[in-house]
Structure 1
Amino acid sequence: MNKQFETFLQNHNLSGISSINKSDLHNHLGKGGNVNYITSRYNLKIDLPPSKFESLFHMDEWAKENIKKKCPYIKRLEAAFVQAADDNISVLAASFGLDEAMTIGGMPVEAFIDTMKSFNQQLAPNTILLPELAFTRGCDVDKEFSRLDEVLSYNWFKSVDINGVESEQPIKNFKKIYRKAKEHGLRLKAHVGEFGTADDVMEAVEELELDEVHHGIASANSEFVLNWLSKHKIQLNVCPSSNVKLQVVESYAVHPIRKIYDYGIPVTINTDDMLVFNQSVSQEYLNLFKSGLMNGHELNHIREIGLREISYYGL
């Protein structure tokens, strides 16, 4: 399979790349589907996004107007599982907000979990689902903490995350949420170092005892932080197209994943929001290969790093 994957990359064979098992460990599932599937399945018209967004706020507004208002959340979740199956995603870390997990269309949390299990079994039976509980950076931490016991009591979530604008409140404010998540055996992750600094990445890992960082590409600006992340084997779940389209990175050819990988830091390649960025995991691999940034052997090594995610959960 390793040689096959490399050969498919060399031949720019996207369908071949899609046939090989991969992971997607940074996936906001409500925006994880394929726009073509949604438009044809539900007879919807969704305009293509701009080639690049001006900011995270611009992206969120575009997604609100063009996706959220046009396609119900439950249908978008369905599309995400279909996409996982189509792209041979064998390990899927799928992110859900707390309100999404607590209730969806009046559905109690047990029913929500049962629906996700059903989607998984029926639409993507070869995909191992690793549900991720996500908090927004600007949330009321005390309020979210007060609801945490109920959500974690179902023993469904496998990891915890914080996303949103990194400057909205200090990362240390989330300590009590992360301590409780750790007590329940969840893997600890957070969005950091996408728009912030290398020091922000190191601070988040230390304050919250993170196992993994979503994005974390700002770490490439500090050799000290790169060496520190490498020493502590902190995994970075990188989303190249997201970084390029949000203008955090100029192009695939200069993406900092190259430098991060060279420091021996475990990295994975992921979609982030496929409904917005319109690039599958397979396309992400091919983009990096075609740009000349990484070779087939290196990209296959990254693919293998992603697949070992299940070992952290005893699966």
Structure 2
Amino acid sequence: MNDKFEMYLQENSLKGLESIPKSDLHSHAGRGGSITYIEQLANVKITPPSEPFNSLKEMNQWLNDNVKCYCPGFSGYLKRVEAAFVQAKNDNIAVLALSFAIDEIDACGTIDNFISIMDGLHKKFAPETEFLPDLAVGYEPGEQSKLDEIFSANWFRGIDICNYSRCYSMNELKKICQKSRDSKLILKAHIGEFGGADDVMRYAEELELNQIQHGIAAANSPQIMKWLAKHKIQLNVCPTSNIMLRNSLNYQSHQIRKLFDFGVPVTINSDDLIIFNATVSQEYLNLYNAGLMTADELNTIRLTGLNEVNNYA
């Protein structure tokens, strides 16, 4: 399998890469499908964004204007989640960590209904994929009051803190992480996509994170990269997302090169495929064709992602 993966990279064969098992450990559930799938469902043509976005607000507006308008409401949301599972099957994603926000649970009425719906989609569209759902926290105040009920269902496998809106203080985040740790969840946080290397260090150390979503700002500090490598804190990197949000200049100079060289565990992921239009297989091919990494190095990263399932209780 390793030899085939490297051969397909060298042959520039996207179809071949799609046949090789991979992981996607950083994907947002309602945004994890392909544009093509939505086009076929709605019988429309959607033009992917051609230039990087200037902000998350601009990115979300593009999503509303070009995708959500064709699959609106709760039924449309379910179709977008369906698209994420279909994508996992099509790209041979053997290990999939999809994140779900609390308002997505609320839209289903109860946690039991939510679990039943998502397990049904998983079983129907990607039954062979190891599914590791993450609970995304940090989008709106008051989420803490719902955590006990959600955690008691023992369905989520990780928690993904995204505090970009600063709705939580660090002390509040520590309490959430302790509750998550007590529930035996893998601790993740979005940090270092924006901001600096010190932000990555602060969140990783104070919250005792197992993994970091993005984390590429750490590449600006050799000291912090050495610390991440020493503590084996995995960064789930999304190259095209980083470029499209102006946090990386291009594939040729992406920060994953420096992180890998310093021994930081890294994986390659899609983030918001329905927006950025780059599958996990394409991400590998983009980095290889840019001359950033060798086929052997990319295979090492692929295996790191596949081994992730062993870290879950």
Q: TM-score, normalised by structure 2?
A: 0.95
**1:172, 1:207 within 8 Å by CA — same for their partners in 2?**
no
Secondary structure of 1:155's partner? coil
Identity rate, percent: 50
Aligned to 1:180: 179
1:1-315 to 2 correspondences below 5 Å: 1-71=1-71, 72-104=76-108, 107-136=109-138, 139-140=140-141, 143-163=142-162, 165=164, 170-314=169-313
Q: Which amino acid in structure 1 is aligned with residue 145 of structure 2? A: S
Q: How far is 1:298 from its partner?
A: 0.3
Secondary structure of 1:147's partner? helix
Secondary structure of 1:237's partner? strand
* 2: CA distance, partners of 1:214 / 1:241: 14
* 1: CA distance, partners of 2:265 / 2:25: 13
Q: Which amino acid in structure 2 is aligned with residue 275 of structure 1? A: I
Q: Which amino acid in structure 2 is aligned with residue 302 of structure 1? A: I
**1:268, 1:302 within 8 Å by CA — same for their partners in 2?**
yes
- Using the TM superposition, name which of 158-167 and 187-196 deviates more: 158-167
* 2: CA distance, partners of 1:12 / 1:154: 44
| Gap change, CA 1:267 and 1:18, over 3 Å in 2 | same
Q: Which amino acid in structure 2 is aligned with residue 73 of structure 1? A: Y
* 2: CA distance, partners of 1:302 / 1:166: 31
Q: How far is 1:45 from its partner?
A: 4.2
**1:102, 1:151 within 8 Å by CA — same for their partners in 2?**
no
* 1: CA distance, partners of 2:295 / 2:167: 39
User: Unaligned stretches of 5+ in structure 2?
Assistant: none
* 2: CA distance, partners of 1:3 / 1:275: 30
Q: Which amino acid in structure 1 is aligned with residue 65 of structure 2? A: E
**1:131, 1:158 within 8 Å by CA — same for their partners in 2?**
yes
Q: How far is 1:135 from its partner?
A: 1.3
1:76-113 CA-partner distances (Å, limit 9, x unpaired): 00011000000000100000001112333xx4221221
Q: How far is 1:47 from its partner?
A: 3.7
Secondary structure of 2:225's partner? helix
1:132-172 CA-partner distances (Å, limit 9, x unpaired): 000135x31xx211110011111000000122626665444
* 1: CA distance, partners of 2:11 / 2:132: 32
* 2: CA distance, partners of 1:136 / 1:43: 35
| Gap change, CA 1:89 and 1:231, over 3 Å in 2 | same
Secondary structure of 2:190's partner? strand
* 1: CA distance, partners of 2:65 / 2:181: 36
* 1: CA distance, partners of 2:165 / 2:287: 26
* 2: CA distance, partners of 1:44 / 1:256: 36
**2:93, 2:129 within 8 Å by CA — same for their partners in 1?**
yes
**1:237, 1:268 within 8 Å by CA — same for their partners in 2?**
yes
1:121-142 CA-partner distances (Å, limit 9, x unpaired): 11111101101000135x31xx
Q: How far is 1:70 from its partner?
A: 2.6
* 1: CA distance, partners of 2:163 / 2:56: 9
Root mean square deviation of aligned Cα: 1.4
* 2: CA distance, partners of 1:2 / 1:274: 25
Over 6 Å off, 4+ runs: none
The aligned length equals 309
Q: Which amino acid in structure 1 is aligned with residue 159 of structure 2? A: V
1:40-82 CA-partner distances (Å, limit 9, x unpaired): 1232443422321112221122112222333111110001100
**2:138, 2:165 within 8 Å by CA — same for their partners in 1?**
no
* 1: CA distance, partners of 2:304 / 2:82: 27
1:163-193 CA-partner distances (Å, limit 9, x unpaired): 2626665444311111101100000000000
Q: TM-score, normalised by structure 1?
A: 0.95
Q: Which amino acid in structure 1 is aligned with residue 84 of structure 2? A: A
Secondary structure of 2:53's partner? coil
* 2: CA distance, partners of 1:38 / 1:135: 27
| Gap change, CA 1:146 and 1:216, over 3 Å in 2 | same
* 2: CA distance, partners of 1:271 / 1:242: 7
